[in-house]
Amino acid sequence: MATTRSFWKGHLRLALVTIPIRLVSAASSEDKVALHQVDRKTKQRIRYQKVAGEGGRVVPQSDIVQGYELGDGNYVLFEPEELDKLKLATRHTIELTEFVDACSIDPLYFDNPYYVLPDGDVAEEGYRIIRDALRATKKYGVGQLTIRGRENLIAMQPCGDGLMIETLRYANEIRDAKQVFEDIGTSKLRPELIDMAKQLIEERSQKFDPTEFKNHYAEALRALVKEKVEGGLSTEVAGGRDEPSGGQVIDFMEALRRSTGKAGGKHASAGGRAKTAASRQKREPVKRGPPKAQKRKSRSR
């Protein structure tokens, strides 16, 4: 079984059967292009700080606690250890408490998908039994799971050779569609117009293939970045190294360097050295041609 990073480990319980499992995010962010905010004048990264009151005093993380607003300007404050004492069985266990028809859950309720994997060889037999039983009965297993301090409603279903859960929105998190659409007219429409629309739908009906659709904005943005880099229109930005960017940004920039022939061994690592005070001064963007072999390159972030 391929090693995949998991962000939650616990147990799946069905009546008296309990098996260890782990969850892996089913969504990937590798293809996303992340942009950062930069001060046009000083060429410095924009940072967000946690401040208190009208004076804007910066508050250290150790002094921040959670508060519940009572609605009259008063709050009930909680220390971290108080919240940790709220023991929820769903923090470490997904218990399938009921089963529903696969088509009975409105797509409006589905939120985030996660792959479910057996945690260890001993768990695999029970895992496969639950998977095959759900597939044979065409049912979803419904239960609850706590992720990052929030108890989620979940639906479990077979997915390929494994299992997948999707977090569901609670009923009170869904806006009433009747109220949203109450101003839409109810007058009778001409049948021939509906027939034309039906014909158009039938002509263009096919099996859904998500690989046929591309993120045109992301592709255009990559092309624009490449064009600016090749034209020497990159600018050093101060304050971008103290908080590492996400993996997808690093991967994207590395791929960009390779595509423009700018990847290099010792030169790339040299860019990781600390900036001098002079390098943090105000700069204006300058046109720069391809760097010479003997010059140190600066790392893009």
- For residue range 60-102, what is the model confidence (pLDDT) as tens digits? 888 888 888 888 888 888 888 787 777 666 678 888 999 999 8
Q: Which of 185-189, 227-231, 243-247 is the least confident region?
A: 243-247
Whole-model pTM: value is 0.60
Residue 295 has pLDDT above 50, yes or no: no
Domains of the chain: which residue ranges? 8-30+86-172, 216-280
Report how far Cα 169 is from the mean position of its chain's Cα atoms: 17
Cβ–Cβ under 8 Å, residues 12 and 19: yes
Task: Name 143's Cβ contacts closer than 8 Å, sequence gap at least 6.
Answer: 90, 94, 95, 96, 97, 153, 154, 156
User: pLDDT confidence of 176, banded at 50, 70, 90?
Assistant: very high
H or E element in which residue 118 lies: strand 110-118
What pLDDT sits at residue 257? 55
Tell me, which fold does domain 8-30+86-172 have in CATH?
Answer: Ku70; Chain: A; Domain 2 (2.40.290)
List the one residue out of 178, 174, 159 whose CA is nearest residue 102: 159
